[in-house]
């Protein structure tokens, strides 16, 4: 598969962030439903509101890392910013972490699934990865269900990593092995 085609689905396109994405990304990241699940680079709060300047800094940081791919997820039909996603192989190029964050007004419309499939396929087509990994807070049941539907398996947890509403939560780790992905319904062309 051509590298450029790895970033184009039937309904979404994964592309680099542009400076003029900042206002739409600002609105998306400050949506109350995304508190605690924005998947931002280190140094940015995951729950507190972000200023437009902070979002501009997020865009700058997302585009400056050589050991990760960070993309804007946009609608193929009209270019609307739907979310952001990425793959990060800092820790381990054999099991890079993949994430997708979709604007809540576009949840459950297939954009996240298509974007995640493109990102996982990118990982397996361009890196020596034996697995694609991910993670989410234990309280985030929709994310856990989403990952399972993509073929990911929960494989452990970092216990009591944080507090939400005064209650401790775990960080749930998930992965899908290359042979599972290639043998399942999620690989490109299936």
**When comparing pLDDT for 52 and 48, which is higher?**
52
Cβ atoms 73, 87 nearer than 8 A = no
Sole residue written with tokens 């700058």: 60
Instruction: Name the pTM for this structure.
Output: 0.92
pLDDT of residue 5: 58
Q: Of the candidates 124, 96, 127, 107, which has an alpha carbon nearest to the alpha carbon of residue 189? A: 124
Q: 81-133, pLDDT tens digit by residue?
A: 999 999 999 878 899 999 999 999 999 999 999 999 999 999 999 999 999 99
Cβ atoms 98, 86 nearer than 8 A = yes
Residues with Cβ < 8 Å from 164, sequence gap 6 or more? 36, 137, 139
**When comparing pLDDT for 140 and 42, which is higher?**
140
Full set of structural domains in the chain with CATH = 12-188 (3.40.630.30)
pLDDT of residue 170: 97
C-alpha span between 31 and 38 (Å, rounded): 10
pLDDT of residue 101: 97
Tokens of 121: 């396929």
Q: How many CA atoms lie within 13 A of 45 on its CB side?
A: 8
**When comparing pLDDT for 96 and 62, which is higher?**
96
Residues with Cβ < 8 Å from 67, sequence gap 6 or more? 88, 89, 90, 93
Q: Which pLDDT band holds residue 1 (cuts at 50, 70, 90)? A: very low
Q: Which pLDDT band holds residue 46 (cuts at 50, 70, 90)? A: confident
What average pLDDT does this structure show over 34-47? 88
């Amino acid at each position: 598969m051509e590298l450029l085609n790895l970033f184009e689905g039937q309904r979404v396109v994964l592309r680099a962030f542009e400076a003029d994405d900042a206002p739409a990304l600002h609105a998306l990241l400050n949506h109350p439903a995304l508190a605690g699940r924005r998947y931002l680079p280190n140094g940015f709060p995951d729950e507190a509101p972000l200023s437009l300047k902070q979002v501009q800094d997020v865009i700058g940081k997302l585009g400056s890392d050589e050991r990760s791919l960070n993309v804007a997820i946009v609608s193929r039909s009209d270019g609307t910013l739907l979310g952001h996603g990425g793959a990060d192989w800092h820790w381990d190029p054999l099991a890079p972490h993949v994430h997708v964050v979709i604007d809540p007004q576009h949840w459950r419309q297939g954009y996240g699934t298509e974007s995640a499939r493109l990102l996982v396929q990118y990982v397996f087509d361009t890196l020596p990865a034996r697995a694609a990994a991910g993670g989410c807070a234990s309280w985030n049941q929709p994310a856990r269900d989403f990952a399972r539907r993509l073929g990911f398996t929960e494989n452990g947890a970092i216990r009591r990593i944080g507090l939400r509403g005064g209650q401790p939560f775990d960080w749930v780790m998930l992965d899908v092995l290359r042979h599972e992905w290639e043998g399942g319904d999620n690989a490109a062309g299936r």
